[in-house]
Structure 1
Amino acid sequence: AVIPYFGYARQDRRTKARTPISAKLVANMIAQSGIERVLTMDLHAAQIQGFFDIPVDNLYASPIFALDIKHHFRNCLGEVMVVSPDVGGVARARELAKRIGAPLAIVDKRREKAGEVAEMTVIGDVSGKRCIIVDDICDTAGTLVKAAELLANSGAKEVHAYISHGVMSGPAVERVSSSVMKSLVITDTIAPTDAILTAPNIRVVPTAPIFAQAILNIWGGTSVSSLFDDATLEPLYETAYP
C-alpha cells in the first residue's frame, strides 16, 4: 500500500491517561486488512515503523527539497541557512543542511499548553541570511508564521519554508499568504486545494517520481535507500529542475 501521508502519525504516544495511541491502532488495522507492505513518506516519528508487523519503507522529502533549493537558490546558496522550527526537528533540518552545505539554526519554543506558543527564541546568527525553515507537517501554520516573523525580526534577509506534508487546515493558507515568508514549498502527499494552488507564495513539488521509482525498486528487488542519493534522484526530477 502506498500511503504518502500517514495521517495519524502525531498520535504516536499516550500524552495523558485514557488517550489512545491512534498510530498503533491504524497500523494494526492496515496489517489486518491483508496489506503486506507499506510505502510512505516522512513519518512524523521514525519509531512508528515499529508499530507495524509488516515491512515499512519510509521515504524522505529532504533529497527532493535539496534539489529544489539548489535550483532556486543557485545564485545565492552561500547565503542560505536551514532552520529547525523546534528542537525535535533538528535531525531533519541537519540532514537537509548537510545536503546543501548550509549552516543550521534552531527556533526554541516553549509551550504553556497545547496549541499555544508561549515563547520563541533563535539559537544561531541569522543576520543577512536567507532562512529556510524545514518541518514535516504544516497544519494551521500558526507556529510556522510566528517562527518566520521571529527570524525576520532577528535580521534574516528572507524567510522561506519547506514542509513535507501540507495539511493546511483552517486559516493556514491565509496566514501564509499574508506572512513575511517569501515562499512556502510543500509536497503533494496531500492533494493541494485550489486555495493552495492559487496562493501567491505557496509552491507544490511532486513526489510521484520518487514513489514510482521506489515501487519499481521494491518489485525489482533492488535497494530503496539508493533513492536518497542525489545521483539517483536527479534524473527522476530532470524535467522539473533542468
Structure 2
Amino acid sequence: MPSMIEPKLISGNANMPLANSIARRMSLHRGMNVGLVDARVERFNDGEVFVEVFENVRGEDMYVIQPTSKPANDNLMELLIITDALRRSSAAKITAVIPYFGYARQDRRTKSRTPISAKLVANMLTEAGVARVLTMDLHAAQIQGFFDIPVDNLYAAPIFALDIMHHFKGQLDNLTVVSPDVGGVARARSLAQRLGCALAIVDKRREKAGEVAEMTVIGEVEGKTCLIVDDICDTAGTLCKAAEVLMGNGAQEVHAYTTHGVLSKPAVERVSASKLKSLVITDTIETPKAALEAPNIRVVPTAPIFAQAILNTWHGTSISSLLEVDTLVPIYEGTYARP
C-alpha cells in the first residue's frame, strides 16, 4: 500500500537550480505546493560543514537532492551530514537523489596499491543512513552492486532520443551514433537502437591519463551527421579530438550528447573552438555561466524525469518504465513535440 505521508525534498548546495526545478515539477504532478524543506547548509571558517533543519521531519519520507560534483569532497560531505541530521531527527526513510555520482570513475583497481573509491563512497552513504539511491548514468553499471541498498539508475538516452527526434526531424536516416571509445559502445548502441540509426566507434589509445595519443574510426561516417554519445564531458579533449577525426573521415557535421557536463576549466573554450556543431548536456551538474553563454552548448532538463522517479518511488511503482521514450513523451510535454 502506498504511504500516506507526502514525500519531502531537501537539498544541499551542489545544484540548487535542479532541486528547485524538481520541486516545481512535483508541484504540478501533485496539484499542491511541494517546496524544499527549510534548512541551512553552510561552512564554518575552517571549512567544516554544518546543517540545521528548521522543519519537523519525524516519520517523513525524505529525498536529499545532491550531486557529488565539483567540489566533490565538499558536496559529498554535505550529503552525508544532511543524511545524518535527518536520521537523528527520526526521518522514516532517506533516499539520496544523486544526479551525478562522483568518484564513479574509480570503480576498479587499475594498478597495484590503488583504491576503489566508488565502493568506499557507497559504504559511507549506507552507514550514514541512506536507504535508497536514485542516480543517472553511472559511469560503470557495476557500481550498483557496491551498495547493499536499492539503487535506481536512470538513463539519459531516452531524453536524448526525444531531443534528437525533435531537432533532427526528417534527418534520422542520415544520422550515425558514435561511441568515443570502446567502453561506451553499449551506451551508444542503446541510443542508436532507439533511433533506428547506424553505429560507429572511435577507437582511442591513451599514452597517459587525460591525453589521447591516437584515434581510429570504425564504421561508415562519410556524408553522415554524427552524434557522439558519452556519459561525462570533463576537459572535452576526447570529444573535440573525436569530432576532428570524424570530420577528417568525411562526416557532414558532428554533434555530441553527454549526460554529465563536468566541464573542467579548458572544456568550454575547447568546445567553442572545436569542430563540434553542438554539445548537448543535461543539468545533473549545475551548468557554469561560461557554458550557458557558449553558442554551441545546450542544456536539456532532467527535472521532469527525476520528479517522476521520486513520485514512482514514493508510490511503489515502476522506475524501469522511465527508461522508455514513450513514457517520457507526456512527462516532457511542452519541452518537445511528440515524435
User: TM (normalized to structure 1)?
Assistant: 0.99
Query: Which letter does structure 2 place at the counterpart of 1:103?
Result: A
- Of residues 89, 93, 98, the one that matches 2:193 is 98
1:215 and 1:139 mapped to 2: Cα distance?
28
Distance 1:133 1:87 in 2: 13
Residues 1:216 and 2:318 aligned together:
no
How many angstroms apart in 2 are the aligned matches of 1:6 and 1:220?
A: 24
The whole-number CA distance in structure 1 between the counterparts of 2:109 and 2:220 is: 36
Q: Which residue of 1 aligns with 2:166?
A: 71
> Which one-letter code corresponds to 1:50 in the other structure?
G
Structure 2 residue 183 is the aligned partner of structure 1 residue 88: yes
Mapping of residues 7-156 of structure 1, within 5 Å: 7-156=102-251
User: How big is each residue's C-alpha offset from its partner over 1:163-194, in whole Å with a ceiling of 9 and x where there is no partner?
Assistant: 01000002000000110100000000000011
Letter in 1 for 2:136: M
Aligned length in residues: 242
Percent identity reads 77
Per the alignment, residue 187 of structure 1 pairs with 282
Q: What residue in structure 2 maps to residue 207 of structure 1?
A: 302
CA-atom RMSD in angstroms:
0.7
Displacement of 1:20 after TM fit? 1.3
Shift of 1:232: 1.0
Task: Report how far residue 201 of structure 1 moved.
Answer: 0.2
**Aligned-partner residue type, residue 182 of structure 1:** K
Give deviations 1:83-138, integer Å, cap 9, x for gaps: 00000000000000000110000001111222221110000110110000000000
What SS does structure 2 have at the residue aligned with 1:38?
strand
Amino acid at match of 2:179: S
Question: Equivalents in 1 of 2:208, 2:142: separation in Å?
Answer: 25
**1:102, 1:177 → 2: CA distance?**
27
| Whole-angstrom CA distance in 2 between matches of 1:27 and 1:200 | 38
Give the Cα separation in 2 of the matches to 1:194 and 1:170: 12
In structure 2, give the amino acid aligned to 1:199: A
TM-aligned CA deviation for residue 205 of structure 1: 0.3
Is the deviation greater in 52-61 or in 225-234? 225-234
Please tell me the residue identity of whatever aligns with 2:142: Q
Report the TM-score when normalising by structure 2. 0.71
C-alpha offsets along residues 16-69 of structure 1, whole Å, 9 cap, x if unaligned?
A: 222111101110000001010000000000000000111100000000000000
The 2-side partners of 1:10 and 1:219 are apart by 30
Amino acid at match of 1:65: F
Structure 1: give runs of 5+ residues left out of the alignment.
none
CA deviation after TM superposition for structure 1 residue 75, in Å: 2.4
Partner SS state of residue 194, structure 2: helix
Unaligned runs of 5+ in 2: 1-95
Letter in 2 for 1:216: L
1:229 CA drift (Å) = 1.6
Q: For residues 326 and 199 of structure 2, what CA distance do their matches in structure 1 show?
A: 24
Counterpart code for 2:236: A
SS at match of 1:213: helix
Structure 1 residue 165 and structure 2 residue 260: aligned? yes
